[in-house]
Amino acid sequence: MESSSADAGAKKISVVIPNYQGEKFLAGCLASLLTQTRPPDEIIVVDDASHDGSVALVRQQYPQVQLILREQNGGFAACANTGLDAATGGIVCLFNNDAEAAPDWLAILEQTFETRPEISSLASRIMLYDRHQVFHAVGDFYRANGVPSNRGVWQTDDGQFDTVQEVFGACAAASAYRTSVLDEVRADNLDGKVLDERLFMYCEDVDLNLRLRLRGLRCLYVPKARVYHRLSATGAGTLASFYNGRNFITVALKNLPTEILWANLPAIVITQLGYALFSLRHLRLKTERARLKGQLAALRLLPQTLRQRAQVQAHRRVSKEYFASLLEW
């Protein structure tokens, strides 16, 4: 019996690499993917209107890589969405342009999906590129006060994260998803995209993890799937401060179930006031001024956020008790 196109897609693995000004990192990134023991069936580099040599590098040295050019910079979320829309695999990985994967990374992820059919997404063991024994992320967690974080960040590897375990969500620097679940969460956004492009950059993976969890979908951390990441190599400083300041608030108000949001609203407000007071005390720093601007921007976006909240919450399938059990208190 001939397999259907859907079955063929289910056996394919796509890797999507959003890129902006990543010329100095792309060679190492792509080389690590092309030399996998289980190579990707397609690698898609989406260039977000770079003005360095990224496009020429991919065209000249990596003709086997699918290159998609965006005419205007739209931020990480829009750039990643362009790649996710183009991907044809039954498994899709998001991978940062400043990361490099161990040779068996993809083979381990594929095997995990095959042996754990109840799992919808996978989190990699992400180490610092320049300090291989220091963690960047071993999955993500989410606090009830609306503050996300990477599990294990800055910790030295002493074997404390060597166990396969369920986590709240995956850090999108190196994450893997069943395409079917990504297609499911498109219904949360009016434009039918996977990621919320309003977020622009930062917290777009946190937002995705929350929406997956609201549907009862599960994420597994796979310690043998190793990746080495240069932190914020293509975006940091005031940009990170502004968008984290804005998106922490927006993501919490949009996604937390009503009962949990109301119960923790004082903690959310106190946390944000704490950030604001710190920034006010350090106004001489551009990063702190940027965070304050981000917080104000979140308040201006509130009517739009609440409209989108209604759409997201309409797809919630889990009880408040179950969702509360997933959070860090």
Instruction: Tell me what pLDDT residue 8 has.
Output: 45
Measured at the CA of 315, the angle between CA 151 and CA 323, to 5 degrees, comes to 40
**Residues 15, 83: Cα–Cα separation, whole Å:** 9
What's the number of CA atoms in the CB half-sphere (13 Å) around residue 38?
14
Task: Say what the pTM is.
Answer: 0.93
Q: What is the largest CA-CA distance in the chain?
A: 70
Instruction: Tell me what pLDDT residue 107 has.
Output: 98
Instruction: Tell me what pLDDT residue 236 has.
Output: 65
**Residues 48, 54: Cα–Cα separation, whole Å:** 10
**Residues 155, 121: Cα–Cα separation, whole Å:** 24
State how far the alpha carbon of 19 is from the alpha carbons of 77, 156, 234, in Å.
11, 29, 9
**Residues 110, 46: Cα–Cα separation, whole Å:** 23
Instruction: Tell me what pLDDT residue 100 has.
Output: 98
pLDDT tens digit at each of 329 positions of the chain? 333 334 446 579 999 999 999 999 999 999 999 999 999 999 999 999 999 999 999 999 999 999 999 999 999 999 999 999 999 999 999 999 999 999 999 999 999 999 999 999 999 999 999 999 999 999 999 999 999 999 999 999 999 999 999 999 999 999 999 999 999 999 999 999 999 999 999 999 999 999 999 999 999 999 999 999 997 655 568 999 999 999 999 999 999 999 999 999 999 999 999 999 999 999 999 999 999 999 999 999 999 999 999 999 999 999 999 999 999 98
Instruction: Tell me what pLDDT residue 11 has.
Output: 73
Closest listed residue to residue 250, CA positions, set 290, 204, 203, 298: 298
